[in-house]
Amino acid sequence: MLGKIALDLDSRTKILLFITWFSMVFICRNLYSLLTLFASSTLILILSGSAFSVFKKMKIMLPLVLLSWPLWTFLGNWSLFHSTGGGFDLFFGLFMMLRLLLIIMISVAFILIVKPTEIIGTINSVKLPPQVGAVFALAFRNLYITAEDYKSIKEAHTSRGLELDKGSLVKRIRSHIPLLIPLIIKSIDNAEKLVLALELRPSIMNRRKSKPLRLQDTVMIIGCVIVLLFMAYYSFVMVS
Amino acid sequence: MEVLDSLEVRNLNCRYDSKWILRNISFKVKPGEALAIVGPSASGKTTLTYCLSGVIPNRIRAEVSGCLRVDGEELLGKPIKEIIKSIGVVLQNYELQVFGLTVEEDLELSMKEDDRDTLERVLKLFELEKYRRYYVHELSGGLKHRLVIASTILTDPKYIVMDDPVVNLDWNSRMIVAKTIELLKQKGKGVIILGRRLKGLEKVVDRWIHITPERSENTLPWPQQTKTTNSKTVTELSDDPIIEFREVYYRYSKEYVLKNVSLQIRKGEIHAVMGPNGSGKTTLMKHINGLLKPSRGTVLVNNVDTKKTSPAEMSKFVGIVFQDPEKYFVSERVWDEVAFGVRNLGLDEKNVDVALRMLNLEDRKDSSPYSLSMGEKIRLYIASVVAMDPQIIILDEPTTGQDEGTLEQMMNTIKKLRDMNKTIVVVTHDSDFALSVADRLTILKDGSVYAEGSPLELLNNISLVQEVGIEPLSIEGEEKCLAK
């Protein structure tokens, strides 16, 4: 139910929701508030049905998150330019690890939930020149084209005996060079042809009409603004 | 009296530096008429498209002369934005004309006004309704091509130029293009279709023009077939399967693309795989050399389980000739390009010279791969695979975009490879080609083997061909059937 509501929101609302969520990670200034945020974020992801895919994608980053704990615990008070004493701070290490974990969690959720086309929709709906939205759309589209080219070139080369995943790191990097040559040539060629194609279809530079916000979107946007203001007031005014 | 209501090209000449590409090209298209301009590779079809759209001389520097008149107004040399008001263009490199991230978004971007009814009509006409929310990169090549044609039509130009519009399309999609052209004609649009072969559009084209390469191309001929034992029958082939699919299932995400595929390909045979776009042909092909591993079931190639072997190791006995060979060139010299696979596998470099000789590319060994003609580029890629001396060679859509001459020569090369006791798997949309070269044929539909057997029997079965939606045999193909 919650998942359906979240996915059904207007692209502008979704993006504002993520901005609020992301900002809260930096506004929270103690371990307990971060823990509360982590628990509520996990609950939201579970209820929205995205938890499995988000945690699956996060798996690869876990070693980095775990490594951050001892690093911040033991080196948190140390700097190349000044020293504030030294020693270790277990809570500070935990706080920073949790913050990193939340940053990764929200970023992954953003990538999985907000589609590129919704980002473009949002850019088009604010008063920016239509070319800005078109340039972003083309950049996203080109990303897919390059990724497809990379995949097909990789397949063609491994089919001609190129081993990419064996040997030392240096050998593996060297093996990737034959992949880059055709990819670069293709990308330059694509860029030239894309300019031609753009000239042949100039309508993509026209401004698109944006839909008016619905009630649930308006309520959600007001909610986000209130939460942001309250959190900022609490963290920066009340606590200090 | 001169008819003003037309797109008229008169005495059009175009040359890059000293090379003439077009000489004295003249034709006229009236609203409600479809003109086909057919010619082999390098005959100047794309150059002509660029001239008609204003890309030449506005963006590509070339010397151009003659007349290009639309409804009496001279447009040659005018800015592109003025020309495209009356001439819409579908480029050969159609992928770059997709600007939206999703199908629906791309169509919306082409519309002059926000008109949902027109959008829905076009989605229905091009059978793109179920793909409307798909990301463009999730579509097959054929579907993308269909989308670009649909988007161009939405811009509502009076004349539409399509460069090779059926090159990647299966039979059903070609019928959709044919239906669209008919509809455009009824709406009073003039259509110019350029291509090497325009199978499937014969009924909707009103007039045909053949163009030939202006300059005598410095292209080496394909190797002549020396002694073709075309009479090698299925019964003469070894009974041992060299490729075996055992109840194979495969899925990219949620839906299975291959479903319960069981198939045996015998040593030394030429096996064709046909099926409409999205039927799983490419997925099946990629399983043979381990680029894809089955989600369920087993693929055995030369008694090796592909699940446990990397594609690089599989390349010792399976070679794939992909479409668009120039996309994969890595070397500055033809010889080095052929040696790429040989070096990767640590084989004797003498193989390179043997392969170049076999594909008649010896005299080109010091040239740049990019300077070769399209036919030569394909031969170069085949040579680079042959040099690795695999027992199995897979050809992915080798007929796509090829002219008749190149096709004939490719058939000879395939038969020559078979005479060397190679097992050949050909993935194709071209029924005539499959009939000419294949010993056996597998037809896929919705990821399953729909029919398997002799090409003669299967392709001659009209109800089967219609059910699956593959290309029917041409009159020449039917004659071959009768002769057999």
Backbone φ/ψ region at A44: left (φ over 0), alpha (ψ -120 to 50), beta: alpha
Is residue B380 in some structural domain? no
- Same domain assignment for residues B206 and B238: no
Q: Are residues B162 and B244 in the same domain?
A: no
pLDDT at residue A30 tops 60: yes
CA B394 to chain A, closest CA, distance in angstroms equals 11
CB contact under 8 A, B310 and A202: no
Residue A20 host element (H or E):
helix A11-27
Q: Does B312 touch chain A (CB under 8 A)?
A: yes
Distance in angstroms between the alpha carbons of the first and the last residue of chain A: 40
Domain end residue (candidates: B160, B177, B210): B210
Q: Are residues B266 and B408 located together in one domain of the fold?
A: yes
Number of domains in chain B: 2
Among A151, A152, A160, A181, the strongest candidate for a mutation testing the B interface, having the largest count of B CBs within 10 A, is A160
Task: Say yes or no: B106 and B252 in one domain.
Answer: no
Cα distance between residue A117 and residue A10, in whole Å: 12
On whether the CB atoms of residues B447 and B259 are closer than 8 A, the answer is yes
Domain assignment present for B265: yes
Interface size A-B, in CB pairs within 8 Å, comes to 135
Is B174:B199 a contact under the CB 8 Å cutoff? yes
pLDDT (0 to 100) of residue B105:
82
**pLDDT-derived band of residue B227, with 50, 70 and 90 as boundaries?**
very low
The stretch B327-345 carries a mean pLDDT of 91
Given a cut of 70, whether residue A131 has pLDDT beyond it is yes
Cα A8 from Cα A19, distance rounded (Å): 18
- Are the C-beta atoms of residues B102 and B136 closer than 8 Å to each other? yes
Question: Is the Cβ pair A200, B80 closer than 8 Å?
Answer: yes
Give the C-alpha separation, B344 to B274, whole Å. Answer: 32
Residue written as token pair 């911040």: A72
Residues B145 and B291 reside in one and the same domain: no
Q: Which residue has the tokens 């979240």?
A: A6
Of the residues B210, B243, B259, which one is the last residue of a structural domain? Answer: B210
pLDDT at B214: 59
B120 inside domain:
yes
* A173 and A60 fall within a common domain: no
B69-105 pLDDT per residue, tens: 998 899 888 888 888 888 988 888 787 788 877 888 8
Tens digit of each residue's pLDDT (9 = 90 or more) over B351-400: 999 999 888 888 888 989 888 877 788 889 999 999 999 999 999 988 87
Do A138 and A77 lie in one domain? The reply is no
Q: Which domain holds residue A153?
A: 121-205
Comparing A86-90, B129-133, B323-327, the range with the smallest average pLDDT is: A86-90
Whether residues A197 and B91 touch (CB distance < 8 A) is answered with: yes
Amino acid at A173: I
A25 shares its domain with A79: yes
Question: Residues A11, A110: one domain?
Answer: yes
Whether A12 has a pLDDT exceeding 80, the answer reads yes
pLDDT tens readout for residues B5-23: 889 999 999 988 777 888 8
- My answer on whether A110 and A125 are in the same domain is no
- Is residue B323 classed as helix, strand or coil in its secondary structure? coil
**B354 in any annotated domain:** no
Q: Average of pLDDT values for B56-80?
A: 89
Residues B94 and B174 in one domain: yes
Contact A158 B315 (CB under 8 A): yes
Q: By the CB < 8 Å criterion, does B101 face chain A?
A: yes
The pLDDT, as a whole number, for residue B358 is: 85
Q: Which residues of A touch B316 (CB under 8 A)?
A: 161
pLDDT tens digits along B253-267: 778 889 999 999 999
Tell whether B221 is covered by a domain. Answer: no
> What pLDDT is attached to residue B383?
92
Q: Where residue B205 falls among pLDDT bands split at 50, 70, 90?
A: very high
Are A154 and B286 contacting, i.e. CB atoms less than 8 angstroms apart? Answer: no
Q: Are residues A216 and A110 in the same domain?
A: yes
Pairwise CB contact (< 8 Å): B327 & A149: yes
Tokens of A16: 């504002």
Can you give the pLDDT at residue A210? 67
Residue B234: per-residue pLDDT: 44
Q: Chain B residues with CB inside 8 Å of A140's CB?
A: 101
For residue B132, name the pLDDT band (cuts at 50, 70, 90).
confident
Is A99 in the same domain as A81? yes
Do B278 and B195 share a structural domain? no
Chain A contacts of B337, Cβ < 8 Å?
A: none
pLDDT in the model for residue B27: 92
How far is residue B40's CA from residue B51's CA, in Å, rounded to a whole number? 18
Say yes or no: B64 and B178 in one domain. Answer: yes
Residues A104 and A6 in one domain: yes
Tell whether A162 and A198 lie within a shared domain. yes
Structural domain including B466 reads 234-317+390-483
**Segment B263-305, tens digit of pLDDT:** 999 999 999 999 988 788 989 999 999 999 999 999 999 999 9
One domain, residues A12 and A81: yes
DSSP notation for B63-88? EEEEEEEETTEE-TTS-HHHHTTTEE
Q: Which residues of A touch B112 (CB under 8 A)?
A: 203
Q: What is the model's pLDDT at position B482?
A: 65
Count of domains in chain A?
2
Residues A104, A222 within the same domain: yes
Arithmetic mean of pLDDT, B107-136: 83
- Angstrom distance (rounded) from CA B35 to CA B12: 17
Q: Do residues B435 and B471 share a domain?
A: yes
Please identify, among B160, B195, B210, the residue that sits at the C-terminal boundary of a domain: B210
Phi, psi (deg, nearest 5) at residue A61: -90, -10
- Are B161 and B88 in contact by the 8 Å Cβ rule? The answer is yes
- Chain B (420-439) residues lying within 8 Å, Cβ to Cβ, of chain A: none
Are residues B104 and B33 part of one domain? Answer: yes
B149 touches chain A (CB under 8 A): no
Average of pLDDT values for B16-41? 88
The predicted structure's pLDDT at residue B219 = 45
Look at residue B363 and tell me if it is in a domain: no
CB-facing half-sphere around the CA of B274: CA atoms within 13 A: 30
For B318, nearest residue in chain A (alpha carbons)? A159
Q: How far, in whole angstroms, is CA B351 from its chain's centroid?
A: 29
> Is B223 among the domain residues?
no
Q: For residue B61, what pLDDT is reported?
A: 85
What's B278's domain CATH number? Answer: 3.40.50.300
Do A185 and A135 belong together in one domain?
yes
Identify which has the larger pLDDT, A119 or A70.
A70
For residue B408, count other CB atoms closer than 10 A to its CB.
12
**pLDDT tens digits, one per residue of A169-215:** 888 888 888 888 888 888 888 888 887 887 887 666 665 666 777 88
> For residue B76, is it within any domain?
yes
Check residue B4 and give its pLDDT. Answer: 67
CA atoms of B250 and B344, how far apart (whole Å):
29
Closest by Cβ to B330, choosing from A181, A194, A195: A181
Question: A108 pLDDT exceeds 50?
Answer: yes
Mean pLDDT of B409-423: 86
CB proximity B402 to A under 8 Å: no
What confidence score (pLDDT) does residue B235 get?
A: 43
Q: What span, in angstroms and rounded, lies between the C-alpha atoms of B320 and B415? A: 17
Substitution target in B330, B337, B340 with the highest count of A β-carbons within 10 Å is: B330
